Amino acid sequence: MYAQHSAPPRSPGEQTRQDLVAIVYADEAYPQLTFEGLVTECRKRGLRIAGVLQHSICPDLSRHCNVALEELTTGLRTNLFEDRGPGASGCRLDAAALAEVNAQVARSLDTASELLILNKFGKVEAEGRGLLDLVAIAVDRGVPVIIGVPVRNLDAWRRFSGGLELELSSDLSAALDWLNRRFPVAVAQEPLPAAG
């Protein structure tokens, strides 16, 4: 059984390469189970997490899938894509919905969060928009960040992070190994028998 994590808080000046983590995955192979497992483990440890968890919504086989982002503090889900009807082409991203998610996560970062988890450094982030300002806020506050990065956006991520990132595989075990190093836990001990 785990006790709460035992790592002391770091000051903003102590940001290290271990604090900006990319989970790198093959294009179109989003590691859903890895992010779900990471969030579950963080909650089990009592970590105060901010960020978003991605959920795919595929109503039927003939239409595009939608993506909903679950804000981790409130559980609020926001659909990110507009349904523009059959035959529509081009980007379906709802910029207003993404801005609302951004504001929700920024508010949760104000509550002494210990870790920021973001689903993806996607096309919008590679262009310098989207959820990128959340990474900057977290870095400024000394809050570690873990983010999914598809291979197609890896070069843009590396330029953005300036060589300060740690890159992990998309296996849950790699994320949990990092979590164990960054937020060690004290294993609950059985009480010693009373002296007789």
The 10s digit of each residue's pLDDT in 104-130 is 999 989 887 999 999 999 988 999 888
CB 88 within 8 A of CB 98: no
- What is the rounded CA–CA span in Å between residue 184 and residue 2? 10
Residue 12 has pLDDT above 50, yes or no: no
Structure tokens at 96: 């207003």
How far apart CA 8 and CA 183 sit, in angstroms, is 9
Mean of the pLDDT values across residues 60-65? 57
**Choices 3.50.70, 3.30.460, 3.40.50, 1.20.144: CATH for 15-81+92-183:** 3.40.50
